[in-house]
Amino acid sequence: MKKELVIKLAELLKNRKLEKEIRIMEVCGTHTAEFFKTGVKDLFPEKLVLIDGPGCPVCVTPNHYLDRGIEIAKKHNTIVTTFGDMIKVPSSYSSFAKEKAEGMDVRIVYSPMDAIRIAEENPEREVVFFSVGFETTAPSEALAILAAKEKHVKNFSILSGNKLTPPAVEALLNADEVHIDGFIVPGHVSAVIGRAPWNFIAQKFRKPGVISGFEAHDLITGVIMLVDMIEKSDIALKNNYPLVVREEGNKKAVEILYSVFEQSDSEWRGIGVIPGSGLKIKDEYALYDAEKKFPVTPPPVKEHAGCRCGDLLRGLITPPQCPLFGKVCSPENAIGPCMVSGEGPCSAYYKYWRK
């Protein structure tokens, strides 16, 4: 999109006059970061409020997942493989970064296929991939398990922390803890699952929603569209990212996903257990399920005193309202996952919008 048009759209948003407060929630960690990084959040007119949702997979992963992962690595001397943003996330008592400093074999990978390669290169060691993500990354983990089976790699497994986003949004709306007028719906997730799984926002809860991309012009047009819908009481779920998001989504990716995983109940940080919001590995692939392959009893779960990451993920507060934000909690010394992950709201506020 031409720069002149983006500037014009920016002026339209900035100069928008609202008669009453409008509260919109973005349900994607990438949206969270990009609203601040691009400066679009600074264009919001008076009375337009952005609420952070549970859209960061690292942030919503509860402590007990990491507690179990660290215990597995300690008890079974496994090679730990995971994405970079998981390394510094605090567990109840430690983190992979701290354990690595004390000798644990922890390796950052860029895909689960890298973990399979490590398993092939180390046939005498068990390799566990710590899989935390939403619908966007889960199909690649399913492919990895299928590849490991095909290649007869038996020393590779996954500890699944994968989650599904629509059930979390529905749980927030059912809880009705915070007033939300409309939703900016994740573009990447919708590219996989399509538009239809989000229809409940409009049909059941009578809230409008807009599927948006991630460039500045996507965010600006998405917000303008959503504000128009709210002011006109236009209750619908609209796709403002048609070049990427199809009505039916990516059927092949969904097929691969559910060939290996099945829905299960799952715990979300700050929200609790949400029925049908998790993805567990099917019994037929138990050889590649680290939780079944390496039974352990993790230590009792402990939350970090003062951290309000859970309240933030429910939209109850903004990062500066947490007493730890920018004081004892910073990207260099993160107390909670919302400050660790690049998709976390605390990280976005800290890096791009401290005032």
Q: How far is CA 68 from the centre of its chain?
A: 20
Question: Are the C-beta atoms of 183 and 24 separated by less than 8 Å?
Answer: yes
Task: Say if residue 78 is in the same domain as residue 217.
Answer: no
Using DSSP bridges, classify how beta strands 261-268 and 106-108 pair: parallel, antiparallel or unpaired. unpaired
Q: Is residue 122 part of a domain?
A: yes
Q: Is residue 281 part of a domain?
A: yes
Task: Say if residue 278 is in the same domain as residue 138.
Answer: yes
Task: Say if residue 155 is in the same domain as residue 171.
Answer: no
Q: Is residue 30 part of a domain?
A: yes
Rounded (5°) CA angle 81-86-88 = 115
Work out the average pLDDT over 45-65.
95
Task: Say if residue 150 is in the same domain as residue 262.
Answer: yes
Task: Say if residue 99 is in the same domain as residue 88.
Answer: yes
Task: Say if residue 129 is in the same domain as residue 171.
Answer: no
Q: Is residue 343 part of a domain?
A: yes
Give the pair of three-digit tokens for residue 122. Answer: 């180390």
Beta-sheet strand order (sheet of 79-82) = 106-108, 79-82, 127-131, 156-160
How many Å apart are CA 287 and CA 289, to the nearest integer? 6
Question: Are the C-beta atoms of 288 and 158 separated by less than 8 Å?
Answer: yes
Question: Are the C-beta atoms of 141 and 160 separated by less than 8 Å?
Answer: yes
Work out the average pLDDT over 33-54.
93
Tell me what pLDDT residue 85 has.
87
How many Å apart are CA 228 and CA 251, to the nearest integer? 32
Q: Is residue 260 part of a domain?
A: yes
- Per DSSP, 298 falls in state P
Task: Say if residue 153 is in the same domain as residue 171.
Answer: no
Give the pair of three-digit tokens for residue 230. Answer: 């709210």
Task: Say if residue 207 is in the same domain as residue 268.
Answer: no
Rounded (5°) CA angle 196-197-203 = 75
Work out the average pLDDT over 330-344.
91
Work out the average pLDDT over 49-75.
95
Tell me what pLDDT residue 179 has.
96
How many Å apart are CA 126 and CA 114, to the nearest integer? 14
278: confidence class by pLDDT, cuts 50, 70, 90: very high
Q: How far is CA 132 from CA 62, 138, 159, in A?
A: 11, 8, 9
- The identity of residue 318, as a single letter, is T
Least confident among 38-42, 62-66, 138-142: 38-42
How many Å apart are CA 118 and CA 106, to the nearest integer? 12
Tell me what pLDDT residue 14 has.
93
Tell me what pLDDT residue 354 has.
54
- The CATH number of whichever domain residue 27 belongs to comes to 3.40.50.11750
Tell me what pLDDT residue 3 has.
75
Task: Say if residue 215 is in the same domain as residue 226.
Answer: yes
- The CATH number of whichever domain residue 63 belongs to comes to 3.40.50.11740
How many Å apart are CA 271 and CA 314, to the nearest integer? 7
Work out the average pLDDT over 264-293.
97
Tell me what pLDDT residue 1 has.
57
Residues of 259-273 as b/e, b for ≥16 C-beta within 10 angstroms? bbbeebebbbbbbee
In the chain, the percentage of residues whose pLDDT exceeds 90 is: 92
Q: Is residue 138 part of a domain?
A: yes
How many Å apart are CA 136 and CA 31, to the nearest integer? 14
Tell me what pLDDT residue 9 has.
86
Task: Say if residue 63 is in the same domain as residue 154.
Answer: yes
How many Å apart are CA 330 and CA 350, to the nearest integer? 8
Task: Say if residue 288 is in the same domain as residue 273.
Answer: yes
Tell me what pLDDT residue 5 has.
79
Range of the structural domain that residue 204 is part of: 3-48+167-230
Task: Say if residue 35 is in the same domain as residue 176.
Answer: yes
**Total structural domains in the chain?**
3
Q: How many CB atoms lie within 10 A of CB 242?
A: 12
Q: Is residue 345 part of a domain?
A: yes
- Tens digit of pLDDT for each residue in 305-329? 999 999 999 999 999 999 999 999 9
- Tens digit of pLDDT for each residue in 79-110? 999 998 899 999 999 999 999 999 999 999 99
Q: Is residue 223 part of a domain?
A: yes
